[in-house]
Chains A and B, each alone.
Chain A
Amino acid sequence: MSRFGVRFSRACITLCIAGFFTVPCFGATNTNVSWISHDMEAYAALDVNRMLGVSFDTRVLYRALLWDHVRASAGISFTWMSPSLDGYFLSVRYENILDTGLGAGVSFIADIFPASLKAVHGIIPSLSWRMQFFFAEFGVALRSFTADSAAIWNIFHYASPVFETLFHYQIGCTFAFFNEFWTLTASFGNFDEFYIGNFGTIMLRMRNEFLVSAPWRVFADVTIRPSGSLALAGTYAVIFICIGGRVTL
């Protein structure tokens, strides 16, 4: 990787992280204006992998809804096992087109494996449909496998020896109980905010979220990623447990 490339990637990461923390500060002083609504969540994650063992991550996500239609979000993940940054993402979507619940957008995901000096970077254009109890997202994940240790941190690095095109999908439902005190979300798909799975990865995810005291919520997530896929043994490969909180800014 050239010197310029290294500098460019460092600049991108610095900008992403700086933007990540400054935008909510800016927005937080404008909570009364109608053009923006946003929230921030942070959680501790326990990642139990059959082959690699247990790891602990801390993740922070920021989401903003601008003018009721433009959803911008970003997040970073830090692993305590290396310890190091092990992922970040940026996403922009236009939601609820003509009040149909349909949306379109693009996400950039960097899933970094610092201990093995590898990463996957993905550009994911997708279409979504979100109704009151139901949501779905379909798209194409353009996943680049990066084995160049100098380039693994750069979310925009795609000059790699392996470039895969993967079907990207998620279907789920959300139910609210007790006057929205408890929200239950269940989904299956092949991705999350920090992860770009194979087409055959059937990731089952369940989130229980509780409105403790507005604007504070706490939640617990459980995700199971079985090994193989349909028509293979259901022996799990990864169990992912998250506990955290979310605040509406």
Chain B
Amino acid sequence: MMRAVLAAALGAVLMLGCSLDPFGFLASSDVDERFNDGLSLPAPTNLSLTPPYSFVVIADTHVHDAESAARVASLSLKLIAADEFVLAAGDLVQNGLRSDVILFTNAMREATAALGIPWFAVPGNHDLYFGGWTNFREHIGRSIYSFSAGALRVIAMDSANGTLGKKQYDWLSQTLASRSEAHCIVFTHFQFFSPAITETQQYTDIEEAAYLMYLFETRSVSYVLSGHSHADVHHMINGVSYLTVANHPASIVRMTVTATNMTHVVLH
């Protein structure tokens, strides 16, 4: 008994000494809270773009120190003049810490500065750890939004809890129904399907995923872009491309938009 107490006490001291906080992984915010918070934050402005143009998608940068931030900044080497914006599909930082979010945003500004193009992001599960939503909201902004980019409607879907929640689902349905652009993409963090037997997290409920896929089919969404699994995976289902982007810098995806269609290429 005494040994068990001593072992527990020693464990607690070691965890405190190492600044480990196991409860921090469970302290993330709720998707409805983020939806409500987002209403008070400025919405992204529409981009006046004329096809053809391209944009770049990255995912899972997991910034946690200067070195990982430098890898994000090195994205500038891969951007080309036709690129008009960059999308980051979640897990931007490792633990949701304020210092890491600042490192990430500075790195993204550096990466896009030469072209002077905007970038947009959605949160992943890592961005919410340790109360990370506060930092995301302050330094990046809304987690749920949409904007027009010429012939394209871009929808940012917050799946960082593994579910959309009712409010976001209703908003998504309404946004898809009211769009007037020729093309539409959705970008989010969690992928719908598991690429490996050990994949512990993905969009949680397969029935929810099925409903979302039905919605995307009936509303003619061209691409659903996600991250999380650190693997490049592409499924084409009933006319919708479900493209999971591997972690940056292992992969980036360049999407090309023309007046009549959209294509993608995975760059390593």
A residues with CB within 8 A of B? 49-53, 111, 113, 115-120, 140, 145, 147, 161-162, 164-167, 196-201, 225-235, 237-238
Contact = CB atoms under 8 A, between A and B. Distances in A.
A111 B169 contact: no
Given A50-B166, A116-B214, A229 B207 contact: no
B204 interface: yes
A198 B211 contact: no
B133 to A, nearest CB: 10
Central interface residue in A111, A116, A229, by most chain B CB within 10 Å: A116
A237 B235 contact: no
A113 B207 contact: yes
Contacts of A201: 204
Given A196-B206, A198-B202, A147 B237 contact: yes
B37 to A, nearest CB: 15
Contacts of A228: 125, 161-163, 201, 204
Contacts of A237: 162-163, 204-205, 208
Contact of A120 (B25, B128, B206): B206
B213 to A, nearest CB: 7
Interface of B: 25-26, 28-31, 125, 128-129, 161-166, 169, 193-194, 196-202, 204-208, 210-211, 213-214, 235-238
A78 B200 CA distance: 30
Nearest to A165: B197
Contacts of A116: 210-211, 213-214
Given A231-B129, A238-B205, A166 B194 contact: yes
Given A161-B237, A231-B125, A233-B26, A199 B211 contact: no
A147 B181 CA distance: 26
4 tightest A-B CB contacts, nearest first: A228-B162, A116-B214, A118-B210, A200-B200
